[in-house]
Chain A
Amino acid sequence: MITNSRRVKDYKQLDRELPTLRHVDPDYIYINLQNARAKEYTLDVEVGDHVKLGEILGRRKGKFFEQPIYSTVSGVIEGRTNKYHSSGDEVECLIVRNDFKDTYHESITDRPDSVIEQFTQEDFVEIIKEKGLVGLGGSGFPSYIKLNTDKDIHTVVINAVECEPYLSSDYRLIKDQPEDIFRGLTYLMRAVDATRGVIAVKKTKKELVEVLEREISRFSDWNIQIATLDDFYPQGWENMTFENAVGIKVPVGTLPMEYGILGFNVSTTASVYEAVKHNLPIIKRHLTVNGDAVNFPQDIRARVGTSVRELIELSDGYTDEEKVEVIVGGPMMGESIESDDIVVTQTTTSILVLKSVDYVEEPCVRCASCVYACPVDIQPVQIMNAVKREDKESARALEADKCIECGLCAYVCTSKIHVTDYVREAMKMLR
Chain B
Amino acid sequence: MKNLQRIRTPITAKVCEGLSAGDRVLLSGSIITGRDTAHKRLSRLIAEGKTLPVRLDGETIFYAAPTPPRPGRVIGSIGPTTSYRMDEYAPTLMEAGIRGMIGKGKRSPAVRDAIVRYKAVYFGAMGGVAALMSACVKKAEVIAYGDLGPEAIMQLEIEDFPLIVIDDASGRDLYEEAVPNGYL
Binding partners A and B? no
Chain A residues engaging chain B, CB cutoff 8 angstroms: none
Chain B residues engaging chain A, CB cutoff 8 angstroms: none
